[in-house]
Amino acid sequence: MAIKVVKFGGSSLADAAHFRQVAEIVKADPSRRYVVPSAPGKRFSDDTKVTDMLYTLYELVRARASMEVIDAHYENIKARYNSIITELGINLDLSGEYEYIKNAVLHSSGRDFAASRGEYLNGMILAKYLGFDFIDAENVIYFKDNGTFDEEKTNDMLSIELKDHKYAVIPGFYGISPNGTVVTFSRGGSDITGSIVARAAEADLYENWTDVSGFMMADPRIIKNPSIIDTITYRELRELSYMGATVLHEDAIFPVRYAGIPINIKNTNRPEDRGTMIVSQASGYDTEHVITGIAGKKGFSVITVEKDMMNSEIGFGRKVLESLEDFGVSFEHLPSGIDTMSVVVQNAQIEGNEDRIIQAITRRTKPDSVTLESGLALVAVVGRGMVKARGTAARVFNAVSNAGVNIKMIDQGSCELNIIVGVDERDFETTLKAIYNEFVK
Ligand code: ASP
């Protein structure tokens, strides 16, 4: 029988009604054997996620707030879980767990421990409700001394453990370090746990259930009702996520990608929607629109270095990049001309060191001029279909210029998976809309 690993995000488990939907989804397909839950998320737009409430609990303890204040806050956290348990009518008493967690947080068990209890408690409730085994992530997900994830140890131990459980719930977001402290991934990290479990289970599919029907072609805050991407490759997804598109935690891609397991982004509120399939090989999946998606970010600067006969000077590029390296700056793009070289960097990387970086470049390269221009936005047009379709670049540039926007930089990788244009930050939204309308509408 096929094996599916299913991860449910916080909004999919925010209250009892959502738990019911989740159970229906899990039970509808017996191959959905391993379930990875997040902590309860927001029930309405200005609600607070349980994970954030737990971080606040930790801060209150650290700031030595009165026991009264701490207790009142903790009651609100318990109430979130208790209302789910009562409404679902499950026979589960978490009072011992609550007491243990409170004492541990009061006695410096750490910030990560506090946050991780969101998933831990939710996992216990979900396991009970589904009638599945509960596998505590701290017995199967390992971190190294330096805080990074221990991939191989985890895969070895977890795959052995899973063999003993036909159906199980494994809470997302946390694991254990060699000295026995609980460690979490970065925010949104339950996606990573899901991916790790899928790899260890040698799953056929990793379903990631959330509150949208897949990965959108563009940011819905800028493009109204953007189309959903039907199928996207891991590489395309990396490009789009890097440029700011989010649905899935970036690090969630790696464990399943190498194992060749596809990810299906699905909507808990509309399970019948196909969602987006994320696959390693694009063959057989033609894109509908030539491009797969568009994403972008503001907040970039360009450093431009000019020097006569630069193109024949060996080591020029190295000297420029070394000057950036001295200040711990990594670069994004390197568009160059015959006697000019530009380096695109994130503003945040150079902030406060602008003058010193320019001086360092000047000292090393003795240029005719060095200039720094900030206020650049980058827009990436990504699509595996671009290799086959002639004239895609021309369509992008025409669309942008017809919208009255001046393109300041162009970068196209030779793999023809993306075209990146740099525009003034003020033109960011207009650029995205122009490109989207050119290819989709
Ligand atoms: N609950 C954690 C967070 O809010 C992890 C997750 O939901 O994936 O970031």
- The preferred substitution site among 13, 187, 197, 246 for testing ligand 1, maximizing ligand atoms within 8 Å of CB, is 187
Q: Whose CA is nearest to atom 6 of ligand 1?
A: 188
333: number of Cβ within 10 Å? 18
- The preferred substitution site among 6, 35, 38 for testing ligand 1, maximizing ligand atoms within 8 Å of CB, is 38
User: What atom of ligand 1 comes closest to residue 173's alpha carbon?
Assistant: 5
Rounded Cα gap, residues 247 and 263, in angstroms? 12
Tokens representing 299 are: 């907040």
- Report the candidate in 45, 49, 46, 99 with the shortest Cα–Cα distance to residue 74: 99
Residues with CB under 6 A from ligand 1: 10, 38-39, 49, 51, 118, 172-173, 187-191
Q: Whose CA is nearest to atom 5 of ligand 1?
A: 188
User: What atom of ligand 1 comes closest to residue 9's alpha carbon?
Assistant: 7
Cα-based angle 320, 324, 327 (whole degrees, multiple of 5):
150
Radius of gyration, CA atoms only, the chain: 25
What DSSP line would sit under 280-331, residue for residue?
S--TT---SSS--EEEEEEEEEEEEEE-TTGGG-TTHHHHHHHHHHTTTPPP
In angstroms, what is the span from residue 361 Cα to ligand 1's centroid? 42
What DSSP element (H or E) covers 39?
none
In angstroms, what is the span from residue 340 Cα to ligand 1's centroid? 45
Rounded Cα gap, residues 197 and 380, in angstroms? 32
pLDDT by 10s per residue, the chain, length 441: 899 999 999 999 999 999 999 999 999 999 999 999 999 999 999 999 999 999 999 999 999 999 999 999 999 999 999 999 999 999 999 999 999 999 999 998 899 999 999 999 999 999 999 999 999 999 999 999 999 999 999 999 999 999 999 999 999 999 999 999 999 999 999 999 999 999 999 999 999 999 999 999 999 999 999 999 999 998 898 888 877 777 788 888 889 998 999 999 999 999 999 999 999 877 666 667 889 999 999 999 999 999 998 878 899 999 999 999 999 999 988 888 889 999 999 999 999 999 999 999 999 999 999 999 999 999 999 998 888 788 899 999 999 999 999 999 888 877 778 899 999 999 999 999 999 999 997
Rounded Cα gap, residues 226 and 219, in angstroms? 7
In angstroms, what is the span from residue 43 Cα to ligand 1's centroid? 15
In angstroms, what is the span from residue 188 Cα to ligand 1's centroid? 4
- The preferred substitution site among 111, 184, 190 for testing ligand 1, maximizing ligand atoms within 8 Å of CB, is 190
Q: Whose CA is nearest to atom 8 of ligand 1?
A: 188
- Contacts of residue 89, defined as CB under 8 A and 6 or more positions apart, other chains included, come to none
In angstroms, what is the span from residue 421 Cα to ligand 1's centroid? 33
What DSSP element (H or E) covers 149?
none
- The preferred substitution site among 36, 47, 49, 55 for testing ligand 1, maximizing ligand atoms within 8 Å of CB, is 49
- Contacts of residue 21, defined as CB under 8 A and 6 or more positions apart, other chains included, come to 12, 268, 269, 271
In angstroms, what is the span from residue 87 Cα to ligand 1's centroid? 23
What DSSP element (H or E) covers 264?
strand 263-267
- Report the candidate in 108, 119, 246 with the shortest Cα–Cα distance to residue 175: 119
User: What atom of ligand 1 comes closest to residue 118's alpha carbon?
Assistant: 1
User: What atom of ligand 1 comes closest to residue 184's alpha carbon?
Assistant: 5
- Report the candidate in 332, 178, 141, 149 with the shortest Cα–Cα distance to residue 254: 149
DSSP β-ladder status, 174-176 and 133-134: unpaired
